[in-house]
Amino acid sequence: MAINFKELASKTGEKAQNLSEKGLAASKDFMTKMGEKAQDLSEIGEKGWAASKDFMTKVSEKAQNLSEKGLTAIEIKQLQAQEKKLIAQLGQTVHRLLIEEKIESINADTPEVKATLLEIIAIQEEIAKKNSILTSQEPQV
């Protein structure tokens, strides 16, 4: 039995070329799919980044809103403390007028009383204004 090396080499060459072509096609297909996956991953990453950015913007806005509400609440407390002091001052003024100065009739038009009452009213209006600001601020997510 004689081996025809020429024919064997030819068949081996054909098979090698066939395998090479299949490998090249598979490699091209693999690279195409990898490129598509990379593109998909890139799009997912971009969407994730956009969602993160949107979330952080909303968190920042919420923090700003809460900060503003906190400051408004502190201002209201300060105004309420000032109002209490003025009410105490009004009581002292009325006491002084009735007891020490023996004035028999005191009303809202009594000069010493009127000035303090006007201050109290102005503070109460400011408190009401700040309360309406505080309650009108919509919570943001």
pLDDT band per the 50, 70, 90 thresholds, residue 40: confident
- Asked if 65 and 140 count as a contact pair (C-beta separation under 8 A), the reply is yes
Q: Tell me the residue type at 136.
A: S
CA 3 – CA 25 distance, rounded (Å): 33
The per-residue pLDDT of the chain, averaged, comes to: 84
Range in 9-13, 34-38, 48-52, 99-103 with the lowest mean pLDDT: 9-13
Q: How far apart are CA 94 and CA 84, in angstroms?
A: 15
DSSP annotation of 101 = S
pLDDT tens-digit series, residues 71-124: 899 999 999 999 999 999 999 999 999 999 998 899 999 999 999 999 999 999
